[in-house]
Amino acid sequence: MAMSVMKSLRRIFSEKIAEIDQTRLVYLLSLVVGLISSLAAAVLKNSIHYTGKILTGGITPESGSYHYFIYPILGIFLTALFVKYIVKDNIEHGVSRVLHAISRKKSRIKSHNNWTSLLASTVTIGFGGSVGAEAPIVLTGSSIGSTVGRYFGLNYRYVTLLIGCGAAGAVSGIFKAPIAGIVFTLEVLLLDLTMSSIVPLLISSVTAATVAWFLMGDEVLLSFTITGPLNMQNIPWYLLLGVITGLVSVYFTRLTLFIEARYKKIRNMYIRILSGGLVVGILVFLFPAFYGEGYDAIMLLLKGESVSLFQNSLFSRLGSGYLVFILFFLCLILLKVVASSSTTGAGGVGGIFAPTLFLGGMTGFLTASILNEFALIDLPDNRFVLVGMAGTMSAVMHAPLTAIFLIAEITGGYSLLIPLIITSTIAYITIKGFERHSIYHIQLAERGELITHDKNQAVLTMMDWKKEIERDLITVHASDNLGELVKTISKSTRNIFPVVDEYNIFQGVVHLDDVREIMFNSDLYDTVKVRELMTIPPVYLDLEEKVETVMDAFTKSDVWNLPVLDKGYYVGFVSKSRIFGTYRDLLVQFSGE
């Protein structure tokens, strides 16, 4: 009875929805996605906050407590078991998984991602894993967008747009930064900037930010208000900070990829958990600032309480001299990447968003501190902390606009806008000299799976040319005579016949036009061999070729069909008409025209 009622309601609801114009429907769904994404962000942020508070509430913040050693190991262990035995899917590196879904899975993100990343990252970060919650919530928001879009039967373009709305809503909700949420989607997810896409993103992002204001207090948010005017005499030092944060970001990017690759080589899950967990546990034990996202440490710097951050570490036992103080912050910068990449490499779930901000904040503070000490100037520490955060985010993520607007929004104004633009731009230019792609994009780009703002390149990335291979052609052998070839032709509806040997190694091709004049001359049936009639194609394609190579081969060669081989073995043929037909269809689908 209840089931029949539900089906009836769903049918009536679907009929009403079908009457709505597609554009208006997307506007409505973008509001829904933004609302749900912000609720998810609130749940995740509060879950992490209160999990950490419960676990560490009874211990002092100073290093030396064994809890700081045990908790991260336990959190990584529980997360890894949850992922392996309950989720049974890869949910690490949320932003990269969203990009992969857009480019290779027609924007289909498995529905379990609506909640699994929330739970897994809560355990990882709440127990002290040194990573951020932003990537998991971006994956969650994007998954919500994908689920909603597919539920209402939207096409690839609109589902992708709702994925962007989910990501924008997630970032906007977790930071109360609506502009940063939109720009993040455009810069990092590489969504097309058109009026048809910007309006849903605005709706989703503003909705999420509004909900966040009602649900989350300042206690669980990174927020700080900058007061006072900009001192234009400090502009050269912001230029210097841009170069420094750019170089630090190169170090962070390369070491993160290196360490995670090393952990992947450890096949035994329990050995991987133990080795990575021990590294994280030891680092958090020595530097409690590494516990969780690290925003508490950043807030101490912004409030001018850097000394208490130093005193909560074992370094304070080495003395109170300035060099020890500087060495402490240098260790925070150099070892944060080890703590964060070991957390994810060992099996924890989290992202590099928060570690990047942590790294930038510490770099900005250390730069200002050294300049104040040795250059005898008076640079504002808290401004350099904030601008340093923008510098590393701009460089690591290759997203200068996201960095600029995020820091501007969380500081409650735009008095820092000029330094933010200067440092973020210089940091971005600096890392571009070393890394062509961001840490989110680099592995996808290496596999040829990265969607870009270039529509032509985006369509090529989406194409799976192997699906266009025609494998139903009848093969013949070079030793066959004309009579046997004619029998084969009579059974086929095609006009090309691949020639292979007994091992299926490709030797050539016979075209129907090449035998048309002699195929009815029975006197030649026994004397003419296939090897005398076959031709060698000017180009052949290997199964491992990228789609760009396939398109280029057809463009440069004056043929309509090319053989596809797998290390010399015949696979099938691919035709120019099918390849370019698929390209045109995808281009229309992608552009919505």
Q: Please give the Cα distance from 525 to 512 (Å, whole number).
A: 15
Cβ distance 301 to 295 under 8 Å? Answer: no
pLDDT at 1: 41
Q: How confident is the model at residue 560 (pLDDT cuts 50, 70, 90)?
A: confident
Q: Which of 3-12, 282-291, 531-540 has the lowest mean pLDDT?
A: 3-12
Write out the two tokens for 295. Answer: 């925003």
Q: Are both 22-220 and 232-456 of the same fold?
A: yes
Contact call for residues 114 and 163 (beta carbons, < 8 A): no
Q: DSSP class of residue 335? A: H
- CA-nearest of 496, 491, 492, 490 to 575 is 496
How many angstroms separate the CA atoms of 163 and 150, rounded? 11
Q: Which tens digits make up the pLDDT trace of 42-70?
A: 999 889 989 988 988 777 666 557 888 89
Determine the angle formed by the axes of helices 94-104 and 455-462, rounding to 10 degrees: 90
Average pLDDT of the chain is 86
Report the distance separating Cα 456 and Cα 586, nearest Å.
Answer: 10
Least reliable range by pLDDT among 25-39, 146-160, 287-301, 515-529: 515-529
Residue with tokens 């997630």: 170
Which CATH number fits the domain 22-220, given the four candidates 1.10.1740.110, 1.10.3080.10, 3.30.70.20, 1.10.3470.10? 1.10.3080.10
What pLDDT does residue 37 have? 94
Domains of the chain by residue range: 22-220, 232-456, 460-591
Its pTM stands at: 0.79
In this structure, are strands 541-542 and 561-566 parallel, antiparallel, or unpaired?
parallel
Q: Is the pLDDT at 73 greater than 70, yes or no?
A: yes
Instruction: Answer whether residue 221 shows pLDDT above 70.
Output: no
Structure tokens at 324: 């020890």
State the DSSP code for 340. Answer: H
Residue 2 has a pLDDT of 37
pLDDT value at position 555? 78
**pLDDT, tens digit, 9 for 90 and up, residues 78-98:** 999 999 999 998 888 888 889
Q: Are 149 and 158 in contact (CB under 8 A)?
A: yes
CATH code linked to domain 460-591: 3.10.580.10
Question: Which one is the CATH code of 232-456: 3.40.190.170, 3.40.50.880, 1.10.3080.10, 1.10.3720.10?
Answer: 1.10.3080.10
Q: pLDDT value at position 447?
A: 62
